[in-house]
Amino acid sequence: MKTRIARVSARRVWDSRGRPTIEVEIGLTGGACGRAIAPAGASTGTGEAIDLRDGGPSFGGMDVKRALAGIDREIAPALVGMDAIDQGGIDLRLIALDGTPNKARLGGNALIATSMAAAHAAAAGLGLPLWKYLSGGAEPGWIPLPEIQIFGGGAHAGRRIDIQDLMVVAVGAQDFATALDWTAEVYRCAGRLLANKGRLAGVADEGGYWPMLDSNEEALSLLLHAIEVAGFRPGEDVAISLDIAASEFGREGLYRLDREGRIFSRDEMIEMLIDWINKYPIVSIEDPLAEDDEAGLVAFTRAVGDRLQVIGDDFLVTNAQRVRRAAAVGACNSVLIKPNQAGTLTETRAALDAARDSGYSAVVSARSGETEDVTIVHLAVGWGVPQLKVGSFTRSERMAKWNEGLRISESLPTGGALPPRASLPWG
């Protein structure tokens, strides 16, 4: 059999924040090979798979090396001889081998890089592009709609503003290439507007501009202005999407917003967000409240869930059980899908299936620490997820993914067609 695993090897490579990470390479008996690199978050949910990452000010720890040793000594011997096409069996074996509930022993980063490398190897062994292999023969009808960061704040930008991602979605674009064109235009205008104000401090971890502003809302109004200056109709051509990443500044129902100079109660936080939704063309808000504030998330979803995509990221951590529980209590109506939060592709897929069963929308997402790895783009296309969140222009680890989307769209029967508006939550 051509797709039997002949070797598993790993190396220490570097991510976009200058930190070591793990690349796994899997070779098959037929000669095909696949490889994948683990990304890493900065604003992480407590329920995520635990990575073995190097810590300390000089990142001089030994944890990545420890993870590599685990791959050499335990994972490789366990996987050699398995069929790479048996993704479920491979992932189950990885989970059993690790033996902890959060993958802390062998490392979530070791597991996800291995799990994704197996999929790449299987696809290569069958002579298929990864998206096609993952789609199981179904023809995707479209390529996902991009959600792209224009301003970066929170843990990705020295907390100059409290909220983490101010993004745009080209809701009126018909195709993927046009969505990128429009977003690039807004991005350039936003940069010019910030520079003219003397408030541009560089670019954040995901490529969005790093704004030095006096309030969070100032960033929102500047973003709206940038959409208009770029010549688009706010809300009709280009809309706003936010990741508040509220777990970074909220605990036990209290939210400390440094830009606003005060602590908000849960109700005040919800009031402020609803005020923004009423004033700006916002179609999606991620982690509006902290991961420990289920009551707040339920109240927020009850108040605006019929007109807004409410995404759980830190709160749901790509976990099927959590998605089902959230749906039962009415917290959020959408889930962010990040493979490395789950730790294996099979668990990632289970979270997506749980979302579909619960009537939740889904958004596949990169992490703030990324590399040239483009697996998530194939995953979004192959699994038919209609939205994809990756960072912005001016950072190549982000553009590697958007450019891969352009390449994939050339081979889809529908070309670069985006999901029909009616199939999206705001349609």
Closest-CA residue to 345 (of 192, 202, 134, 61):
134
Size of the site for ligand 2PG (CB under 6 A): 14
Closest-CA residue to 11 (of 61, 55, 67):
67
**Interacting residues with ligand 2PG between 158 and 217 (CB under 6 A):** 164-165, 206
**Interacting residues with Mg ion between 303 and 322 (CB under 5 A):** 313
Using CA atoms, how far apart are residues 38 and 337, in angstroms rounded to an integer? 15
Determine which one of 206, 248, 291, 347 is catalytic: 206
HSE-CB at 81 with a 13 A cutoff on CA atoms is 4
Question: Does 41 help bind ligand 2PG (rule: CB under 6 A)?
Answer: yes
CB of 72 to Mg ion, least distance (A): 33
Four-residue CA torsion sign, 375, 378, 380, 386: positive
Determine which one of 103, 338, 370, 404 is catalytic: 338
Question: Does 109 help bind ligand 2PG (rule: CB under 6 A)?
Answer: no
Choose which of 183, 301, 368, 392 interacts with ligand 2PG (CB under 6 A). 368
C-alpha separations of 58 from 20, 155, 156 in Å: 11, 19, 18
**Interacting residues with Mg ion between 251 and 290 (CB under 5 A):** 286
End-to-end CA distance of the chain: 47
Question: Does 51 help bind ligand 2PG (rule: CB under 6 A)?
Answer: no
Question: Does 147 help bind ligand 2PG (rule: CB under 6 A)?
Answer: no
Under 8 Å between Cβ of 346 and 379:
no
Choose which of 15, 237, 243, 404 interacts with ligand 2PG (CB under 6 A). 243
Is 9 annotated in a binding site? The answer is no
- The amino acid that residue 382 corresponds to is G
Closer to ligand 2PG by Cβ: residue 118 or 316: 316
Under 8 Å between Cβ of 232 and 238:
yes
Closest-CA residue to 367 (of 14, 17, 117, 12):
17
Choose which of 291, 313, 347, 397 interacts with ligand 2PG (CB under 6 A). 313
Closest-CA residue to 367 (of 137, 49, 127, 90):
49
The residues carrying an active-site annotation are 206, 338
- Could you list the residues that contact ligand 2PG (CB under 6 A)? 41-44, 164-165, 206, 243, 245, 313, 336, 365, 367-368
**Residues within the annotated binding site?**
164, 243, 286, 313, 338, 367-368, 389
- Could you list the residues that contact Mg ion (CB under 5 A)? 243, 286, 313
